[in-house]
Chains A and B, each alone.
Chain A
Amino acid sequence: GIQVEQSPPDLILQEGANSTLRCNFSDSVNNLQWFHQNPWGQLINLFYIPSGTKQNGRLSATTVATERYSLLYISSSQTTDSGVYFCAVELPGSSNTGKLIFGQGTTLQVKP
């Protein structure tokens, strides 16, 4: 089956620093989403980005579908950015509808 690998697994930053999180996937995908899991467990949508580049404030994401990777950029990090970041993909085809496959996540800690 498809492999979704995120790197690095853990990241510690000083407040104000920038970071790049990576997601590699081993097959063509229909859908790719980035999430931030808050301390209470809820998955917060960051980006729906099967291809191209999007920006939302201090966050931006790029997916290069032909090379099967996606990057999440966090600029000027704040302590509230701490948490676990997941990328998740959905394969094409009706047998995969609604089924997101998640990476293992990157745990980010931003220190004041």
Chain B
Amino acid sequence: KAGVTQTPRYLIKTRGQQVTLSCSPISGHRSVSWYQQTPGQGLQFLFEYFSETQRNKGNFPGRFSGRQFSNSRSEMNVSTLELGDSALYLCASRRQGEGDTQYFGPGTRLTVL
């Protein structure tokens, strides 16, 4: 069974631009969560989607948004990029909800210049 995939793997943008990252979950998994990892803040939860609905959201500004499609693939968007948005963005999928293991993709490394 294929693992979680994320595209692109690397991205360089400039301040003020916007970016869209994509995540394809493991087949049969309906829940997708997104995380941001930075050296200063560590790994922080962004949001979680299940059956095309956002179930939970972390403490990030409204510039960070996401969505989930009917095939469970998910995208996250960051608008008006700031230097501090440079980070590794990880998504994770799992079958349903509580009690299930989250499996992580390889991440997208975003650099904002």
- Please say whether chains A and B are actual partners in one complex: yes
Q: Mark B88-101, 1 if CB is under 8 A from A, else 0.
A: 10101010011111
Q: Which residues of A contact B103 (CB under 8 A)?
A: 45
Given A30-B99, A43-B90, A90-B98, CB of A99 within 8 Å of CB of B107: no
Q: Is the CB of A98 within 8 A of B31?
A: yes
Given contacts A43-B90, A102-B43, contact A97 B105 (CB under 8 A): no
Do B43 and A86 touch across chains, with their CB atoms under 8 A apart? yes
* Mask: chain A, 27-70; 1 = CB below 8 Å from B; 0 = not: 00011010100001111110010000000000000000000000
Q: Report if A14 contacts B (CB, 8 A).
A: no
For chain B, the count of residues having a C-beta within 8 Å of the partner chain is 29
Chain A residue at minimum C-beta to C-beta distance from B3: A42
**Does B99 contact A31, Cβ atoms closer than 8 Å?**
yes
9 A-B pairs closest in CB distance: A98-B48, A102-B43, A43-B104, A48-B101, A98-B33, A99-B45, A42-B106, A41-B107, A97-B97
| Interface residue ranges of B56-113 to A (CB < 8 Å) | 56, 58, 88, 90, 92, 94, 97-107, 109
Chain A residue contacts of B58, Cβ below 8 A: 99
Q: Are A101 and B45 in contact (CB under 8 A)?
A: yes
Residues of B within 8 Å of A98, CB to CB, are 31, 33, 45, 48, 50, 55-56, 94, 97, 102
